[in-house]
Structure 1
Amino acid sequence: MFTAIPVSAENRNNQNATFQSSSDNIYPLLITSENNGSNVVPFSENDQSLDNNINTLNTIVGCINTWLQLVGIFLTVFTIIIGVLGFIGFKDLRDTKRSLEEYKEKAANDASYINGIKISLEINAKKQSDFLSEKSSILVNQKQSPEIIEKYSEYSNSLRYIELFGVELKSNDYLIRSLDYFYKKKYQEALEAAERSLELDTSNYKAWNNKGNILTKLGKDNLALKDYNKAIKLKKDYASALNNKGVVLSRLKRFDESVETLGSAIEADSELEEAWINRVGPLLKKEEYDQALISINKALEINPKSPEALGNKGLVFDRLGEKDRALSMYDKSIEIDPTIAEVWFNKGITLQSIREHNEALEAYEKALKIDPNYADAWFNKSSAFYSIGKFVEALKAIEKAIKLRSGFDELVHKGKILDLLGKYEDSLRAYEEAIEINPKVADPWILKAIVFQKLGRLSKALEACNKAIEISPKHKEAWLHKGHIFVEQGEKEKALEAYDNVLDLDQSHLPGLLGRGQVLNMLCRYEEALEVYETAIKQDRKFAWSWVGKGDILSSLKRDNEAINCYLQAVELIPDDPIIWSKLSKAYTTLGQYEKAMSSLINSVSFRYQKPQMMIPYFP
């Protein structure tokens, strides 16, 4: 900036004086229009002209002085304005300073208030954390009470506010946040919170146990097992982790280890109802039914109205063959709590076992409504559709199961359905995938042999049977189907040898007896064949194909009346089978009973177009 210095009157007079004094020393030459500068007139000779020039100069000087005065006035006004603005700015500065002091005082009060809230939140969080840590047994399949779930949710929400105030969360905070997500079935978020909990404290055994539960829900049983072991290593008598480990071992079909581990959980906490209940499953797999009943009764002693225990007691009765008592127990469980998917599932199994397939389907639907991701329920729903010949629906259900859990059993079952739908190449692919999962099981090789046989690729079928026998030399169905292939190849003696191998392993094996009887019939060894079929009938009079086989032998022996009686027995057992009606028509024709022959033939044709033909189910 600059400061304008005003010009005073005295200075202005001095300037004029200076200007005038200097003019005294100048001798100007005036040029007139007449002489165009040719005649120069001295100053002293023309006074009037000099006066005019002086006046002109004075006018110019006056203008300059006026301009200088205006500049001075402007500078004065400008200076005043600057002063006024400075005064106003000082006042504003003083007001601003006062506002800052007031704001500082208010901020201090707010900080004190916020600090009070922070302390209150920390105390409340500690209380909730202690309460939840004490209450949480963290069992993998435990149905937690709504009150506890609400507590988890409240605490998890309060953690967000605590974080906003700069409080660092602890391992247990993340554990309870993980549990909140777990009970909301947000398993990925639960896993992230559990891992954060363990980052802060690797010795938090409850966090290891909780992480195992999450991995179990995500279908990662082997990884879950490792985390349960870490929890148990940190706390050997941790009943919850021992219980959960036992559950996973059972899922992995390690039933002996499961029973032992659940026993350890009971030793750690004899009042842990869930451990007694979970022990039932592997005991049933080991066919230790009495022990299973003892275990479930102990659970009911602890809690007589436990819907889970009642449901599992129904399962024990089912395995003991007491189907009505089983269904009664399921209904009692459902009456107490209709939201347990496993009880509906087990009810479906019992109904399916007594051939109530439609009711079983309803039970599976109930289970899936509660838990749409229940892979076993999708599998059994497919099985029920399969049993009533609805193969398209069965395929859709098994594909749902495979999306949730692409396991060995699911792929084998899918292969069977595709086989019956005539999609043989797709069926073979399903069996190949199953073999990749477990190459040491013979069953998919046998099923591959059946498909190859249908495709007429008998050498491939024989290779598949040989592979099955290599894996399991005492596998009856492998030898059985090898016999079937030899029959189709015309190798009767080899077929007979294969069927004899089946019967060496199990003398009462009905499909093996029927195969042997068929080959003896082909070899015209009718009396031996007749003896075989009579043995089969003694074992099971309700197996229609034993009667059919006996009828064929009697027909070959020209004993047509006896043959007709055998076929009629078979028709009573399977009234809509076109093959049996066709054989009956042929027998009536031989005896000249043409009216009965025609009636039987009409039935044969009618039933042939009403239902798809299936192979005799030698291999379930």
Structure 2
Amino acid sequence: MQLDPKTSLAITYKCMAFAALQKYEEALDTCTFALKVDGNWGRFSPALAWLQRGILLSGLTQYEQAIIAYDRTLLLQPKDSLTLAYRCEAFTKLNQNEPAIDSCDRALAGNGKWGDKTAAFAWINRGVAHRQLKQWEKAIADYDRAINIEPNDPLTWAAQGFVFEKLARFNESLTSYDRALQISPKFSLALVGRCTMLNQLTQYKEALEACEQSLQGDGNWIETGPAQAWNQRGKALTGLEKYEEALASANRAVGIKPDYPEAWSDRGAILWYLRKYEEALDSTQRSIQLNPNNAKAWLNQGIVLRAMGQPEEALKTYDKALQLDPTDAETWVNQSVALLDLGRLQAALSATDNALRFNPKSFMGWYNRGVALVKLRQYQEAFLAYEKAAKVKPDSADALTGLGISLFFLKRYPDAVLTLQAALKLNPNQGLAQEALKNGDAAANKKIIAVTLLCTGSAKCDRYAPRVCSHSTKSSSAETPNRALPSGSSWGREEWDLRSGCFSGVRSGWVRTAIATHQESATKPQDPTD
């Protein structure tokens, strides 16, 4: 049977042919014309043209108009599953997630006619709506249903990986991204997702490789573009302590996408490592301007301010970060360090309690709790805190050193010696453990302990102490420097003398070693993911 080329049905087929050739404007005009001519649809109906018109309008990102076209289709075929699923998709593009879910549910309960698609199309769009509502578990369940129907769709696996990432289920996320890559080995989005998860798992060498592969991949980035790959590449290089290369990568990220708040925040963290604090502050401020609700950017700004010797200002930014995300353990840890700087010991202890409430395996939470408790002279509790820190990181010489310190204060000297020896087996250059074992009497040990505890996590300590300590290693007599305190210092004279290491039994050479050992005690700036 030959089709009359001037009928509505024939013109609709012509519209569909233009669409297949990606000539969307011509296709749209042709479908519109089909709806205006003779109304001869054969065994079909105008629903065919209205549906095609909706699909074309969606492709042109005219989602409101697309929904109108889908609604016209549904007037003729109210239970058409394919139309309802496309309508669901259009609502997700407008971030109207409740009507999207309703439309997807109706699609799944509809006539089961999916055209060249399957029910997975509805489940995927339902997952998108739940993801945008931050209903992560429901989104995972939706993606699971889609995968059961179409197990070889790499995009669905990657979408599920993203949701697992939001739940901090990093190994499961990595598994989903890896499954996507088994199906499509050069899928850029899955490769950058893999890089992101490997960064989270501190597997920086593998992360770097994945990010570089993503930049050489198929260029299918969906929303993020290559800026995410450059940003994550910078984070991997930061983890590998290649800070200059990391900065170059971060600069590429913000150059490609200047409105990328996470990249500006991460760039600030890299500049912090490079001790370029003013530039770091500018970068975190840029991130906050772009997205004032990014808790990670506020956290990173606080860390930079503390490094600049402004703990009070740092506390204000930590408070802002905690307003946005009160469950972030790392922010509570950093708040505890700033409070220790200011001598607000009970508040610091409370901050570590909150950190541990949200992450019982936070090494720095337990470690800083030990520091606060020693300063409060609660030595038994400090011992228990350092013991927990050592369980979280059994290979941490610093944790074992803190444990040994607590044992000295508890006058359990043989146990203290054994613990410090164990610390030195893990790190033969652990300065505090070396010196504590070298000094036989408890009083000297306590002074060594005091200077390290006061310096723990303090950016000021490594900045100023070497300037005032005597360079002589011959005399062990007390020598208090007759100097003014550093500008902006919140320390008292007695505390400054201890930080300087200018007291009996402690040589300035050891102080520099101890400072170098402990200057990383403060938690590093956070990566976004997110």
TM exceeding 0.5: yes
- Structure 1 residue aligned with 2:182: 233
Q: Identity across aligned pairs (percent)?
A: 23
Shift in Å at residue 375 of structure 1?
Answer: 2.7
Q: Is residue 221 of structure 2 the alignment partner of residue 276 of structure 1?
A: no
The amino acid that maps onto 1:224 is S
Relative to structure 1, the CA distance from residue 272 to residue 230 in structure 2 (aligned partners, 3 Å threshold; closer, same or farther) is: same
Q: Which blocks of at least 5 consecutive residues in structure 2 are unaligned? A: 1-73, 453-461, 499-513, 522-530
- Structure number with bigger Rg: 1
- Structure 2 residue aligned with 1:443: 398
TM-score normalised to structure 2 length = 0.67
Q: Is residue 203 of structure 2 the alignment partner of residue 254 of structure 1?
A: yes
1:209-608 aligned within 5 A: 209-268=158-217, 269=219, 271-407=225-361, 408-484=363-439, 486-488=440-442, 540-543=466-469, 546=470, 553=477, 566-569=480-483, 575-577=492-494
Relative to structure 1, the CA distance from residue 422 to residue 203 in structure 2 (aligned partners, 3 Å threshold; closer, same or farther) is: farther
TM-score normalised to structure 1 length = 0.58
- Structure 1 residue aligned with 2:77: 116
8 Å contact kept, 1:385–1:394: yes
Q: Partners in 2 of 1:287 and 1:367 — Cα distance?
A: 26
Q: Partners in 1 of 2:376 and 2:443 — Cα distance?
A: 25
8 Å contact kept, 2:311–2:342: yes
Q: Partners in 2 of 1:471 and 1:278 — Cα distance?
A: 31
Shift in Å at residue 351 of structure 1?
Answer: 0.3
Q: 1:125 aligns with which of 59, 68, 85?
A: 85
Relative to structure 1, the CA distance from residue 487 to residue 333 in structure 2 (aligned partners, 3 Å threshold; closer, same or farther) is: same
- Say which SS state the counterpart of residue 244 (structure 2) adopts: helix
- Say which SS state the counterpart of residue 540 (structure 1) adopts: helix
Q: Partners in 2 of 1:539 and 1:358 — Cα distance?
A: 21
- Structure 2 residue aligned with 1:155: 100
Q: Partners in 1 of 2:465 and 2:333 — Cα distance?
A: 32
8 Å contact kept, 1:262–1:275: yes
Relative to structure 1, the CA distance from residue 459 to residue 552 in structure 2 (aligned partners, 3 Å threshold; closer, same or farther) is: closer
The amino acid that maps onto 2:78 is I
Shift in Å at residue 365 of structure 1?
Answer: 1.8
Q: Which blocks of at least 5 consecutive residues in structure 1 are unaligned? A: 1-112, 133-146, 500-509, 512-535, 556-562, 582-615
Q: Which moved more, 1:271-280 or 1:349-358?
A: 271-280
8 Å contact kept, 1:547–1:567: no
8 Å contact kept, 1:219–1:405: no
Relative to structure 1, the CA distance from residue 540 to residue 194 in structure 2 (aligned partners, 3 Å threshold; closer, same or farther) is: same
Relative to structure 1, the CA distance from residue 166 to residue 247 in structure 2 (aligned partners, 3 Å threshold; closer, same or farther) is: same
Q: Partners in 2 of 1:384 and 1:320 — Cα distance?
A: 21
8 Å contact kept, 2:104–2:125: no
Shift in Å at residue 236 of structure 1?
Answer: 1.0
The count of residues paired between Structure 1 and Structure 2 equals 404
Shift in Å at residue 302 of structure 1?
Answer: 1.9
Shift in Å at residue 153 of structure 1?
Answer: 4.6
1:367-395, CA deviations, whole angstroms, 9 ceiling, x for partnerless residues? Answer: 22222333322221222112212222222
Relative to structure 1, the CA distance from residue 160 to residue 128 in structure 2 (aligned partners, 3 Å threshold; closer, same or farther) is: closer
Shift in Å at residue 437 of structure 1?
Answer: 3.1
Q: Partners in 2 of 1:429 and 1:575 — Cα distance?
A: 30
1:516-547, CA deviations, whole angstroms, 9 ceiling, x for partnerless residues? Answer: xxxxxxxxxxxxxxxxxxxx9x992234xx49
- Say which SS state the counterpart of residue 298 (structure 1) adopts: helix
Relative to structure 1, the CA distance from residue 297 to residue 578 in structure 2 (aligned partners, 3 Å threshold; closer, same or farther) is: closer
Relative to structure 1, the CA distance from residue 199 to residue 369 in structure 2 (aligned partners, 3 Å threshold; closer, same or farther) is: same
1:570-608, CA deviations, whole angstroms, 9 ceiling, x for partnerless residues? Answer: 888964318969xxxxxxxxxxxxxxxxxxxxxxxxxxx
Shift in Å at residue 197 of structure 1?
Answer: 2.6
Q: Is residue 154 of structure 2 the alignment partner of residue 193 of structure 1?
A: no
Shift in Å at residue 409 of structure 1?
Answer: 3.1
- Structure 2 residue aligned with 1:532: none
Q: Partners in 1 of 2:495 and 2:354 — Cα distance?
A: 35
1:238-282, CA deviations, whole angstroms, 9 ceiling, x for partnerless residues? Answer: 222211221221122211111121111122239521111222222
Q: Partners in 1 of 2:122 and 2:216 — Cα distance?
A: 30
Shift in Å at residue 460 of structure 1?
Answer: 0.9
Relative to structure 1, the CA distance from residue 172 to residue 116 in structure 2 (aligned partners, 3 Å threshold; closer, same or farther) is: closer
Q: 2:130 aligns with which of 171, 181, 189?
A: 181
8 Å contact kept, 1:548–1:567: no
The amino acid that maps onto 1:478 is A
Q: Partners in 1 of 2:175 and 2:207 — Cα distance?
A: 15
Relative to structure 1, the CA distance from residue 419 to residue 171 in structure 2 (aligned partners, 3 Å threshold; closer, same or farther) is: farther
8 Å contact kept, 2:370–2:386: yes
Q: Partners in 1 of 2:355 and 2:160 — Cα distance?
A: 25
Shift in Å at residue 221 of structure 1?
Answer: 1.8
Q: Partners in 1 of 2:215 and 2:315 — Cα distance?
A: 36
Q: Partners in 1 of 2:357 and 2:119 — Cα distance?
A: 37
Shift in Å at residue 352 of structure 1?
Answer: 0.9
How big is the alpha-carbon RMSD for the aligned residues of Structure 1 and Structure 2?
3.7
- Say which SS state the counterpart of residue 394 (structure 2) adopts: coil
Shift in Å at residue 412 of structure 1?
Answer: 2.4
Shift in Å at residue 452 of structure 1?
Answer: 0.4
Relative contact order: is structure 1 or structure 2 higher (C-alpha 8 Å, sep ≥ 6)? 2
- Structure 2 residue aligned with 1:70: none
